Amino acid sequence: MKRMKGTLEKLFDLLYSHFGPQHWWPGETELEIIVGAVLTQNTSWKNVEKAIENLKRAGKMDLNALHLTNESEVAKLIRPSGFFKLKASRLKNIVDFLFRAGGIEALKEKDLHELRETLLRIRGIGPETADSILLYALGKPVFVVDAYTRRILKRIGLIQRENVSYDEIQQLFMKNLPQDVQLYNEYHALFVKLGKTYCTKRTPNCNSCPALSICKYGKEMAYVR
DNA sequence: CTCCAGGGGGCCA
DNA sequence: TGGCCCCATGGA
């Protein structure tokens, strides 16, 4: 992997000037962000919204309430987000952890590296979910890599292989950009925006993309072999 | 009808 | 490690 200081900043500027600030994560509270991070695993955000709305309406978007609610009841409420039994179990795992940790606020004091490792040990919390929680709920400078990120990087030619690891992509950004929470927040959100709008699987070329300069720009260079 | 969506874990070579 | 399969609803 080559060094590419400057390149990623320019890509960010192109995205930001085209789409503007994204005001992420789409959730009102830290708990809601964490819940959303689990529910959106391989699931469209539209379906996640319905599940979150169900939880709110039932008065369950609250750490204590959620902790006291049994798993099958949670499963019933989050049904629209798919994989509902699996996700009810995963939600219970993270909620129990938060409860035992003394609440979300208490987590912010912990060492970032140790906290990430701890989150990754929870069943159902993988790298993307952990990093989403760290960045968007806890305000830690961690770059989130998701399916859109991969697809966009691949399409504009910044990565060439199909099997570039999560950590490899994350390091690409974190080693070449300042460790800035607000920058990482916007960058990932902008990738999702571009991904949802013009870089889906159903739009395999960039011809309809108004941010075409991004594609042309990326294709001139390859950074990850 | 088929394909896809802001993953993660288990299993096997 | 790396590839496959499973989990499941709702929209295109």
Q: Which domains does chain A have, with CATH numbers?
A: 1-23+144-223 (1.10.1670.10), 30-138 (1.10.340.30)
A136 CB-to-strand B distance under 7 Å:
yes
Q: How far apart are CA A90 and CA A122, in angstroms?
A: 8
Q: How many Å does it take to go from CA A22 to C1' B11?
A: 40
For position A203, what pLDDT does the model report? 81
* AA letter at A67: H
A182 and A121 in contact (C-beta within 8 Å)? Answer: no
Q: How far apart are CA A5 and CA A175, in angstroms?
A: 9
Nucleotide nearest to A87 (CA to C1'): C7
Nucleotide nearest to A146 (CA to C1'): B6
Give pLDDT tens digits for A126-136: 999 999 999 99
For position A29, what pLDDT does the model report? 98
pTM of the model: 0.94
Length of chain A: 225
A129 CB-to-strand B distance under 7 Å:
yes
Q: How far apart are CA A24 and CA A131, in angstroms?
A: 14
Secondary structure class of A224 (helix, strand, coil): strand
Give pLDDT tens digits for A4-44: 668 899 899 989 999 999 999 999 899 999 999 999 999 99
A79 CB-to-strand C distance under 7 Å:
yes
Nucleotide nearest to A80 (CA to C1'): C9
